[in-house]
Amino acid sequence: MEVEGADAQPNVQDWDALGSLRAIAAFFIVLAHCHPPRAALQVGDWDLSWLLFAAGGVYLRLFFVLSGYLTGKVFWIGKYELTPGGVWRFWQNRWRRIAPLYYFAVLFLTVLLYTHLLQRENWGYLLQILTFTYNHALPVDFNRALWAVSTEMQFYAIAPFAVALIQKFAATPRRATLAAIAVALAVTLYRGMVMASDLQDDIVTYWYTPLPANLDAFVGGMLLNVWLQHPPRFAPRFRATLAAIGAIGLHLVTAYYIYFVEERNLPGRSADFHSPIGIFGLPLAAVLVFGWVIYSLEAGEAYRQRPAPLSFAACLQNPLRLLEALAQLSYGIYVWHMPVLRQIAFAHPVVASDKPFTLFVGKLGVTLLLSGLLATVTYRAIEQPARAIATRSIPTFPFQN
């Protein structure tokens, strides 16, 4: 997401760290969906396979925290105003960035793979997909990863109202902290109600995918803008060190939990098993850690800086900027990776080997490669042209200034 205010400073960043976080999140989500094998990475007597068990849901929350933060930022720096015209332009911008690829993918995949959605008895399910109310749990087969896009679009619909509430009632760091605690408690209560009722039998639909279950991530990210209006209280090195320790620690803790507590991918083990730590603790920990990572990257002058233009020469000067190129493709990779996995990587052996780890690496590599190629084509053919449409070419009705 580009963030540019009318009063933005001309100085630029050498590296778009926030964009790079999207690339990292996309990689670990794909890694998780490739189902790493158990006991496949042995170093001496040590089983290190658990290090590969990334929590896809945790890294999705990184997307949501980033989305909340950047959505709020465009209002705080003045790119959009909280006026009817400003909010309408914000919605137009979000629509142009998300909807074109989403609808192309739905059309392409429905015609090519999910033709059953065209049958009359499934039109209601197709309507859910087209109206961004898809929640991963349809009784018919589809690209299940698209639930996150639906939840994201639902958040964009309410985002201007959330910004208005924060600026009115939580505009100071102290109030923002109280608001963050209140939202976290409300979401935790919601999760507890789900788990204490019959709804727990459909945990994905009611605990994992809906907007209420993810508001702590979206709103927590948005509230970062309040704290970032004030000078940072910690030295840059301390912020960066704590962010690195937190991010690495979160991955290790969640991977260990998935491998040894949930025992994921263990034959005979229910894939729906969750402990209280997984239900309540890890989702909140992810918001806290990723919130601090974003704060550490954006505190101080960085808040109003923009990354320098991305080019091949810029990547040669700073190889970290290659992550920015991947970040530009991250939306497309996310959209395409599940069909690629199910139709190619899972359906056909991609390497000639009888070793589970080698087969897994081949599956991961093919998925990233083919998803990246599809993402590149659709980025050039669909996303870029849609984003280049001038705002003035889209009617401002129904909100006229």
Q: pLDDT digits over 129-169, tens only?
A: 999 999 888 888 899 999 999 999 999 999 999 999 999 99
Long-range CB pairs of 151-154 (<8 Å, 24+ gap) are 151/64, 151/209, 151/210, 151/211, 151/214, 152/63, 152/64, 152/67, 152/98, 153/94, 153/98, 153/99, 154/211
Of the pLDDT bands very low, low, confident and very high (cuts 50, 70, 90), residue 6 is very low
Query: What's the average model confidence in pLDDT over 357-362?
Result: 90
| Contact predicate 184/287, CB 8 Å | yes
Of the pLDDT bands very low, low, confident and very high (cuts 50, 70, 90), residue 13 is low
Rounded Cα–Cα distance for residues 118 and 36 (Å): 34
Of the pLDDT bands very low, low, confident and very high (cuts 50, 70, 90), residue 122 is very high
Mean pLDDT of the residues in the chain: 89
| Contact predicate 135/209, CB 8 Å | yes
Distance between alpha carbon 194 and the CA centroid of its chain, in Å? 23
| Contact predicate 221/180, CB 8 Å | no
Give pLDDT, residue 133. Answer: 93
Of the pLDDT bands very low, low, confident and very high (cuts 50, 70, 90), residue 355 is confident
Query: What's the average model confidence in pLDDT over 327-345?
Result: 92
Of the candidates 307, 278, 274, 368, the residue with the CA atom closest to the CA atom of residue 33: 368
Of the pLDDT bands very low, low, confident and very high (cuts 50, 70, 90), residue 5 is very low
- Convert the pLDDT of each residue in 40-72 to its tens digit: 888 888 989 999 998 899 999 999 999 999 999
Give pLDDT, residue 380. Answer: 95
Q: What's the predicted TM-score (pTM) here?
A: 0.91
Q: Which residues contact 185 (CB under 8 A, 6 or more apart)?
A: none
Rounded Cα–Cα distance for residues 309 and 319 (Å): 14
272 has a pLDDT exceeding 60: no
Tokens of 12: 């630029």
Rounded Cα–Cα distance for residues 237 and 242 (Å): 8
